[in-house]
Structure 1
Amino acid sequence: MSQKTKKTFHKRPQHEEETETTLYEGRNEVMELLRAGRTVDKLFVAPDQNGRMADIVAMAKAAGAVVTQVDRRKLDAMSETGVHQGVIAQAAAHEYVSLEDILQTAADRGEQPLIMICDGLTDPHNLGAVIRSAETAGAHGVIIPKRRSVGLTATAAKASAGAIEHIGVARVTNLSAAIDTLKEKGVWVFGADAGGDTSLYQTNFVGATAIVIGSEGSGLSRLVREKCDGIVSIPMKGRVNSLNASAAAAVLLYEAVRQRIGEEQHG
């Protein structure tokens, strides 16, 4: 796999709660935080600093972070996710990017945009898993709404397994308006729904594409559904007729990847 590079995004105005420091937990997440060049204020580690933990401590010290050894019970009390693996970093909260940043990322790579839109996900584990799938699939960004949706919490960051450090997430006030903007830029927008009239395998994801995943309970909202250029479904062969939101996102994203690889090979 190619080595990840640090991305630079335009700074956007943030609400006060988004500018405070937050905690990043677990070895993978903290390692990716440091690799991405993010400023870490403090690193709290359990006494057993060997192997990969020693590498994390060395990177943090080299980056100018204050490293403090603490008892695991202290880490347990600090932890928001319950799975800290002996290390917690305190750093500035994630900055959200703009739609323009996401489109520019695609342009910089010389690729057609591939964007994941989350229409009201409320489970941070789902959001983190979607971000992980989007990053590994080479998507150029993820879009979430400000209202009735989980944001980039510590749990979401943990669930992304470090992917959150390598892909931009835009948080928009109006998801329908954001879709209009994407369509004006030539991006085709496809909503995913079990009742969709077209299979994902019959849908062209080679061009500029945004894929919308609905909320865990009610799926796509009415306004967002109406804005989509098409509604696609994933064929279900078993007795259960739906997938978890993050699993559905992965299936859709990797169908786009398959199509794009095929286009490159035959282009």
Structure 2
Amino acid sequence: MEKPTQIYGLRAVIEAINAGEAIDKVFIQKGLKGDLSRELEGLIRKKGINASYVPPEKLNRLTKNNHQGVIANISPISFYTLETLVEQVIENKKNPLFLLLDQLSDVRNFGAIIRTAECTGVDGIIIQKKGAAPVTADTIKTSAGAAFKVPIAKVDHIKDAVFYLQASGISVTVATEKTNTNIYDLAFNEPCAIVMGAEDKGVSPSVIKAADHTAKLPMLGEIGSLNVSVACGVFLYEVVRQRM
């Protein structure tokens, strides 16, 4: 059911990219030289794959095998293009609900959000190619298998996805503390999308500016924010409450 989640070696990673494998991230040893390394770097740039240059000690911790200076994490699921996801959902559902995650980085938060998304009838999740949490074995486990049930699309920029959704007749609401609008003051009875931000910095200012609405949760205690997966659950269940 699940694909291998890691491959290593220059030629193996190059072949995996050329074969269209869903690669989440490539780790490349700093200072790596040679024709194959240049070929790999060119492919990474061309395909827009997330890559990090790391010391050899990092690679040695990731695998005990002969990595030749390169390790790639392969997603255990296949990803959709934004256009395919949105078109399929709109064709088959009158009142779709999408969830956008703006550079969420923690795999367990990601998994918990996917689980909640499946339980609340989210039709598709949209993440950014670079800077987003990968779909790893931990993500799958935390999602309780929901990652195999909810379609996930990758895009170059979340802001571009916002514009595409809006052009498709879908209203976009950003969850942010930088607003005076309470979540309970908005209507979610029409086709809509919710945007949740990164754990540390929230949603990007450019995405907030592009959205149709912003909304926050009322905070009655002394701590000023919720864990992003918890906040996401509250937002999604408000959509469910209004639609029931």
**What TM-score does the superposition give when structure 1 sets the normalisation length?**
0.63
Q: 1:258 aligns with which of 236, 241, 244?
A: 241
Q: Distance in 1 between matches of 2:122 and 2:76?
A: 22
Q: Distance in 1 between matches of 2:172 and 2:89?
A: 16
Q: 2:195 aligns with which of 191, 195, 212?
A: 212
Give 3-state SS (helix, strand or coil) of 2:99's partner: strand
Pair 1:219–1:15, CA change in 2 (3 A) = farther
Q: Which residue of 2 aligns with 1:19?
A: 21
Structure 2 unaligned spans of 5+: 1-15, 25-62, 64-73
1:147 partner letter: K
Q: Distance in 2 between matches of 1:177 and 1:20?
A: 21
Pair 1:211–1:194, CA change in 2 (3 A) = same
Q: Which residue of 1 aligns with 2:85?
A: 102
Q: Which residue of 1 aligns with 2:128?
A: 145
Pair 1:18–1:246, CA change in 2 (3 A) = farther
Structure 1 unaligned spans of 5+: 1-13, 23-77, 79-90, 262-267
CA distances 1:159-194 after superposition (whole Å, capped 9, x unpaired)? 111111111000111211111110000111111012
Pair 1:212–1:20, CA change in 2 (3 A) = closer
Aligned pairs for 1:1-267 within 5 A: 15=17, 19=21, 93-107=76-90, 109-261=92-244
2:111–2:138 contact (8 Å) kept in structure 1: yes
Q: Distance in 2 between matches of 1:153 and 1:104?
A: 27
**What TM-score does the superposition give when structure 2 sets the normalisation length?**
0.68
CA RMSD of aligned residues (A): 2.5
2:99–2:122 contact (8 Å) kept in structure 1: yes
Q: Distance in 2 between matches of 1:92 and 1:194?
A: 32
Deviation at 1:226, TM superposition (A): 1.2
Deviation at 1:107, TM superposition (A): 3.4
Deviation at 1:156, TM superposition (A): 1.1
Pair 1:180–1:17, CA change in 2 (3 A) = same
Give 3-state SS (helix, strand or coil) of 1:143's partner: strand
Give 3-state SS (helix, strand or coil) of 2:160's partner: helix
Give 3-state SS (helix, strand or coil) of 1:144's partner: strand
1:95 partner letter: S
Deviation at 1:102, TM superposition (A): 3.0
Pair 1:221–1:21, CA change in 2 (3 A) = closer
Q: Distance in 1 between matches of 2:22 and 2:208?
A: 35
